[in-house]
């Protein structure tokens, strides 16, 4: 079933070529142009690769940077990097399993004529690009990412900035997509500068990017200077497995931090990739070690072709319990589910503290449980609690 594809001469089509390649040896744009865009292009690079049906491509394209391909185990089909980026037969529609293309209901909250999703009162999501350097098979924005119909036109960007500028209540803007860092420096400089100039009421300007992880050489001194110039306060990166944390990533993260920018980590909980306590503990500790604060762990959205990644809610609770208390407090992110149809992010939190009625009906008591399962009762926190009167001698 491997179809003949037009191969760019710049691609690294053999294992030896890929292993000899130094991702830091050339400008990021060149590596971007070397991306693999069909699984057949990897047939002499990875062993035991699934030969998927072409129909998979009708739903979602394939795109993999050589750097990410280097992180893939050449022999293990269950490698956590391979699972995230290589297409599989699991993406074919599963009968009886409801999926949606816009599970988060973002289109319903998009301001007409713009690419601004305005769901919360004071913050907006500004979708500036429909391109990513490497496409994740579980992407929540398959409706637009890599789709020709999802491209964001220049006039749409202008109208979006106008909307942010005219709405003085907006004080938090998150640039996302796709990946905003797929833009060249000039375009990014323009967009960030226009927001700062036309919307001075915006207090918090942040960027969500997985390209920092998928093609770390995108982070250059020039890019960092642009982020610093426009006072971008936070860059959130997306890492799902400790294997994605490499010396090159650490080096480029440090460059962003030296520009005075906070960094956060977003993770998607994916079956077979990271639904494991030891993996998550390691990931969050490695992140905090490099000064990247774990922020959210999302449950996989019910988007088309991603049902095989979904980790049940009960397991998410167990994972949270396996992390909280067992690693450094600031390294523990909030686990969330994005409510179907636009409800927003809802925390997934096990019950550690519960209020229960007293047997005599006189009020309530509060029962507490710690991370090790030890319990204590604190009636003083319950309703109608009275301090017992002191008996006088
Ligand atoms: S990097 Fe983000 S937006 Fe891009 S394909 Fe992956 S999940 Fe989707």
Query: Same structural domain for residues 267 and 338?
Result: yes
Is the same domain home to 250 and 128?
yes
| pLDDT reported for residue 4 | 43
Q: For this structure, is 139 an active site residue? A: yes
Structural domain includes residue 9: no
CATH number of the domain enclosing 309: 3.20.20.70
**pLDDT averaged per 10 residues, the chain (length 393):** 51 96 96 96 96 92 97 98 97 72 80 95 96 96 86 94 98 96 97 98 98 98 98 98 98 98 98 98 98 97 92 97 98 94 90 94 95 94 82 52
Known catalytic membership, residue 132: yes
Same domain, 333 and 365: no
Give the residue from 64, 91, 118 where a domain finishes: 91
* Residue 76 forms part of a structural domain: yes
How many angstroms separate the alpha carbon of residue 347 from the centre of ligand 1? 22
Query: Does one domain contain both 341 and 359?
Result: no
Ligand 1 binding pocket includes 270 (Cβ within 6 Å)? no
Q: Specify the pLDDT at position 96.
A: 65
How many domains does one find in the chain?
A: 3
Which of the following is catalytic: 15, 119, 198, 315? Answer: 119
Whether residue 58 is found in the same domain as residue 162: no
pLDDT for position 192: 98
Dist. CA 371 → ligand 1 center (Å): 33
Residue-level pLDDT at 9 = 47
Question: What pLDDT is stored for residue 3 in this prediction?
Answer: 47
**Domain enclosing residue 207, as ranges:** 107-347
The contacts of residue 367 (CB under 8 Å, 6+ apart) are 353, 354, 355, 356, 375, 376, 377, 378
pLDDT at 13: 95
Contacts 24+ apart (CB under 8 A), 144-153: 144/178, 145/177, 145/178, 146/60, 146/61, 146/63, 150/178, 152/115, 152/127, 152/128, 152/177, 152/178
**Residues 186, 114 share a domain:** yes
Of 91, 117, 152, the residue that ends a domain is 91
Sheet containing 364-369: give its strands across.
353-357, 364-369, 375-377
Residue 172 has a pLDDT of 98
Are both 79 and 134 inside the same structural domain? no
Same domain, 315 and 187: yes
| Same domain, yes or no: 41 and 184 | no
Buried b (16+ CB within 10 A) or exposed e, 68-90: bbbbbebeeeebbbbbbbbbbeb
Residues 85 and 150 in one domain: no
Q: How many CB atoms are closer than 10 A to CB 29?
A: 11
Spacing, Cα 144 to ligand 1 middle (Å): 10
Report yes or no on whether pTM surpasses 0.95. Answer: no
């Amino acid at each position: 079933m491997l179809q003949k594809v037009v191969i760019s001469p710049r691609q690294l089509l053999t294992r030896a070529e890929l292993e000899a390649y130094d991702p830091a040896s050339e400008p990021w744009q060149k590596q971007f142009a070397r991306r693999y865009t069909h699984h057949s292009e990897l047939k002499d690079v990875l062993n035991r690769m699934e030969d998927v049906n072409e129909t998979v491509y009708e739903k979602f394209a394939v795109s993999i940077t050589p750097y990410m391909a280097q992180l893939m185990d050449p022999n293990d089909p269950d490698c956590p990097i391979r699972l995230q980026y290589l297409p599989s037969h699991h993406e074919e529609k599963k009968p009886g399993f409801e999926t949606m293309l816009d599970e988060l209901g973002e289109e319903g909250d998009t301001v007409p004529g713009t690419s601004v999703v305005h769901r919360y009162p004071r913050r907006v999501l500004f979708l500036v690009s429909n391109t990513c350097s490497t496409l994740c098979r579980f992407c929540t924005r398959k409706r637009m990412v890599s789709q020709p119909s999802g491209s964001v036109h220049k006039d749409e960007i202008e109208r979006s900035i106008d909307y942010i500028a005219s709405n003085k209540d907006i004080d938090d803007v998150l640039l996302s997509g796709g990946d905003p860092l797929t833009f060249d420096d000039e375009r990014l400089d323009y967009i960030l500068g226009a927001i700062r100039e036309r919307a001075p009421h915006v207090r918090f300007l942040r960027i969500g990017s997985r390209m920092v992880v998928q093609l770390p050489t995108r982070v250059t001194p020039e890019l960092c200077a642009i982020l610093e110039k426009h006072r971008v306060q936070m860059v959130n990166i997306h890492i799902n497995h400790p294997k994605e944390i490499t010396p090159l990533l650490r080096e480029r993260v440090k460059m962003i931090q030296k520009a005075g920018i906070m960094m956060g980590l977003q993770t998607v909980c994916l079956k077979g990739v990271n639904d494991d306590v030891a993996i998550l503990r390691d990931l969050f500790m490695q992140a905090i070690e490099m000064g990247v604060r774990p922020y959210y762990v999302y449950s996989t959205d019910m988007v088309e072709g991603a049902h095989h990644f979904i980790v049940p809610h009960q397991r998410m609770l167990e994972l949270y319990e396996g992390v909280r208390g067992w690693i450094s407090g600031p390294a523990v992110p909030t686990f969330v589910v994005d409510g179907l149809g636009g409800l927003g992010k809802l925390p997934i939190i096990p019950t550690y503290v519960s209020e229960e009625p007293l047997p005599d009906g006189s009020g309530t008591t509060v029962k507490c449980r710690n991370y090790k399962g030890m319990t204590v009762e604190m009636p003083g926190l319950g309703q109608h609690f009275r301090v017992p009167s002191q008996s006088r001698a």
